[in-house]
Amino acid sequence: MSAQATSSSIASSAPVAPVVAQSAAVAAESKPKPCCVCKDEKAKRDECMLFSKAADPQKDCLTTIDQYKSCMAGFGFKV
Residues contributing to the annotated binding site: 35-36
Q: What is the DSSP letter of 33?
A: P
Q: Which residues define the annotated binding site for Cu cation?
A: 35-36
Taken in order 11, 15, 18, 24, the sign of the CA dihedral is negative
Q: What is the DSSP letter of 32?
A: P
Q: What is the DSSP letter of 37?
A: S
